[in-house]
Chains A and B, each alone.
Chain A
Amino acid sequence: MIILEVTNPASSVSLVLFFGTIGMLALTIGLIVFIIFHQRKVIRYQLKLQRLEQDQQKLLLNASIRLQEEERQRIAADLHDDAGPLLATARLYLNENLVNLDKSTQLQSIYNAKQIIDDTIQLIRNISHSLMPPTLKNFGLESAVNDLFQKISGSGSMNASSRFHDYKERLQSENELIIFRVIQELVNNILKHSNASFIHLTQNTSGNKFFIRLHHDGRGITQNDFNKLNKSTVGLGLKNIQSRLKVLHGKIFFEKDMSQTYYKVTIELVKEEDNKLVEQD
């Protein structure tokens, strides 16, 4: 009926009505279809992102598990290969036959056993220190980092210095340990791979942010390299850094200095009270 009216040239109102109504309907249906398809597309994209993030998390988790296992193996090896034989030797000196020996041999054996036990104590102390540096525990991050850098400088192969500009209040001990481990890992990487002649660490704060910056003049990596390594199966240490910083809701940036002479690594953390808020969120 409507079509018949449309064909009548006199009926301009009907034409407007017909095309107006059809147009409105087409627009509405188009809008509905667009909404449905657009939403599906957005959801697919979000799911893809989520999967990527989960893959990344899996990689980090695997890296931290592997690192933990390596650490355990190292401690087990230290105890088995060093402490075990030392104690076995001490036991040999103090065997049952000792009472049948003459006085001077007895004294010599006891002295040797004491020496070996002292060595074992020192060995166990070293293992314990590698697990939790006493300087870090007793005097905080600043002292522990200074201590670490003094040891590196003391070796003579590299000039290492650190400066804490705003570290009057210590962070929580577990957070300090995480940051220290990250710094240790970064310094180890610089020592192993960069061929640098100096490392300089600075700490400062800005607002609610806590920054640690490391400069070195060797071969370094940029953020792109870091992201690539993080997604690949290699670069265990970097993944470990990433997973440690994730605990603190921290970020890390690798870049080449403006002068193109130095490499710079920046660790950005949210201060503790704000960090708690982030965790609550």
Chain B
Amino acid sequence: MIIALLALFAEILPIVFYLVFLKRNRGEGLWVIFLYCVISILTEVINELLNGIISGPAIFASFNIVQFTLFSLFYYLSVKNKKLKIITVIGAVIFYIAAISNFTSTKLDFFSVSLASVLAIPYCILLLYEEIKDPNTMFVYNNKKFWVIIAFLLYFAATLFIDVYYSTLSPEQRSNYWAINNFFEILKNILFCIAFIMKKNAQRSYLTDNLDPDI
């Protein structure tokens, strides 16, 4: 219960920090993450308000689709390689096919959640690879995008196995699932906060830097 409350509180924090440091967060596609946080908290509210009117699995599936769409959009905006952009679109199409075909299911659709994790983990690794390859990046962790990607990577990596095995778990184990999920939600939101709070990175190339002004 406490962890669920903390998770809810943690979801508000990135929204607050984004708005407080709005100037720092212009560009770099961070508005997508802000939107992601807003939708995430709205889903919680809608779930509470419409409990019984709309089925839980439908809300869960909708949020899952929106979550992956926003993640893909952020990825699409962040990645520079054209091939990776195309791969993102293809991945999104595959995900939509799976998510829509399971949309009417009466159970929580963990297949498309697992699929989202399976797609998102290599995306994150490829984006990190692209970032460290970029000669304009002095230190990768000075980049706001890095913290967002790390947040997603940790969240998806931590929940991948639980998502895959969710249907085989007992009700007691399922309640544990939500605790783990909430814990990594908190971690993800803290990392989003770091991304929103940190100063805009003045990109500096170490290759073109002149260390000695006398020369």
Contacts and interface: CB of A to CB of B under 8 A. Distances in A.
Interface in A39-57: 39-40, 42-43, 46-47, 50-51, 54, 57
Given A16-B165, A20-B161, A36-B140, 4 more contacts: A2-B180, A13-B169, A21-B161, A40-B139
Contacts of A57: 215
A89 interface: no
B132 interface: yes
Contacts of B141: 36
Q: Interface SS of chain B: helix, strand, loop or mixed?
A: helix
B153 interface: yes
Contacts of B169: 13, 17
Contact of B128 (A5, A35, A43, A58): A35
23 contacts: A1-B176, A1-B179, A5-B176, A13-B165, A13-B168, A24-B157, A25-B157, A25-B158, A28-B153, A28-B154, A31-B125, A32-B150, A35-B128, A36-B141, A39-B139, A43-B138, A47-B206, A50-B206, A50-B207, A50-B209, A54-B211, A54-B215, A58-B215
Contacts of B158: 21, 24-25, 28
A39 B135 CA distance: 11
A71 to B, nearest CB: 23
Interface in B162-194: 162, 165, 168-169, 173, 176, 179-180
A2 B176 contact: yes
B162 A47 contact: no
Interface residues of B, number: 30
B91 to A, nearest CB: 19
Contacts of B99: none
B77 to A, nearest CB: 21
Contacts of A38: 132
A36 B209 CA distance: 20
List the 9 closest A-B pairs by CB distance, nearest first.
A20-B161, A24-B157, A28-B157, A21-B161, A39-B132, A13-B168, A17-B165, A17-B161, A39-B140
Given A36-B141, A50-B206, A50-B209, A24 B160 contact: yes
A27 interface: yes
B212 interface: yes
Interface in A122-162: none
Given A43-B138, A50-B207, A21 B162 contact: yes
Interface string B24-63: 0000000000000000000000000000000000000000
A35 B133 CA distance: 11
A175 interface: no
A59 to B, nearest CB: 11
A105 to B, nearest CB: 63
Contact of B139 (A2, A16, A29, A43): A43
Contacts of A35: 128, 132, 140
Nearest to B125: A31
A14 interface: yes
A245 B125 CA distance: 44
Nearest to B161: A20
Contacts of A39: 132, 137, 139-140
A121 interface: no
Nearest to A11: B173
Interface in B121-146: 125, 128, 132, 137-141
Contacts of B125: 31
A39 to B, nearest CB: 5
A76 interface: no
Interface in A151-180: none
A46 B161 CA distance: 40
A13 to B, nearest CB: 5
A24 B161 contact: yes
Contacts of A14: 173
Nearest to A14: B173
A61 interface: yes
B67 to A, nearest CB: 19
Contacts of B206: 43, 46-47, 50
Interface string A54-69: 1001100100000000
A61 B215 contact: yes
A36 B131 CA distance: 11
A1 B169 CA distance: 14
Nearest to A2: B176
A219 B162 CA distance: 75
Interface string B202-213: 000011010110
